[in-house]
Chains A and B, each alone.
Chain A
């Protein structure tokens, strides 16, 4: 059954239909919140606020875009306003050489690791990215949203989304390399 059918049911007063929408989208909503806030508790709180806001404003959802995109725009904005409240500093991204070369080398090292360890390094590297970059990357690669849809969800222009994707990719490789190098040093010592 499509999201639209459950939205219709919710609007008709069936709260259990909204539960299905929550179960369907909670993973991605939570992931975006976590990528921006870098804190599990804060992310869960923001994800919860997102669904409550969505429920309250469901009547205003026009259906012009996908329900998921509408939901992601709520979580993105809620998380960003939370970071502003907490005055989290967004780090600048420096241009650091040949990232594609770095990516291949990182990928080779990661392939040699076990799945759990691999995941740990990727999570750590993602946590080092500026929140908005990490959210844009998650939306683009995990949800396979187009640049336009990512822009719609985040309120960023198309060119801004592209810049964030480009910098995010680079930064991810730089952080991975740093983490893997420190791991190698630990092993040598």
Chain B
């Protein structure tokens, strides 16, 4: 882990005055190291650091990493294309959409599509037009993936209450799309409306079309909430936030702290900044209220995240084993002070709303048409 972090520091901050990594020793167990890169979804970031030292690693590991980086580049381009096409299709129907994470974030954080691990396309659409947006993507060749199969009203209503997106898979290309009606499963976690963000959207040019995405401080806070609700178990998420915060101006950082307070996300931001300090050794943020540094809830959140980084990733994935659910719940509960937020957490936990569990329950009760 120490060597991985050193590589990431070099990849992320090498050109700045931040501490440079100390490299990877030749006698490292390379297969395990390659697996660690994959577990944290950071092959595209680390490969350019390792590439200049081809003799240092076994040929098969070198081939594997080069292949993964190349295949990620191809995937990133296809996703950018898919994002541009989907956005245009939705726009033709008068449906506004905002790109979350994915290709848009890769451009915002790294200025390059292939620098970030390409997962799926995440699009947040105008919630008042969500059903229409679903019809548009289905007509565009996508099929329901999670929950799969035909939907009924009760199932959809339940899903809409407890989750934040439906997942679709393209019938021919296999591309994955998360179509969001809100930013997070818990509607109180990131309390910003679509209309508010749309009014302040940032436009990126991708493949000759303009794609809307989140503006500066909201982008960072959204990423912090996403990382926090997953206990930051992948370094990829922390890299995104660390690089965006490091490259912000001092004024932007002040605005970030102010915005976090405004949205009640001070713990979430403090966790991300403290974790970045601990993991990457990035400069201490003088803007962080000293009381937050000593806040026991924040300290617990940072400690949980540090443990999650080294634990089996399956413990923190959507379908975590029962033994991990309580830790996840306790982590989630600490993120915000707000009572409605905590009540929503509790409801989700009591109903065991994890992944598509609730869908399976509803299916058992109500046959889909």
Decide if A and B are genuine partners.
Answer: no
B interface residues with partner A (beta carbon < 8 Å) = none
Binding site for B on A (CB under 8 A): none
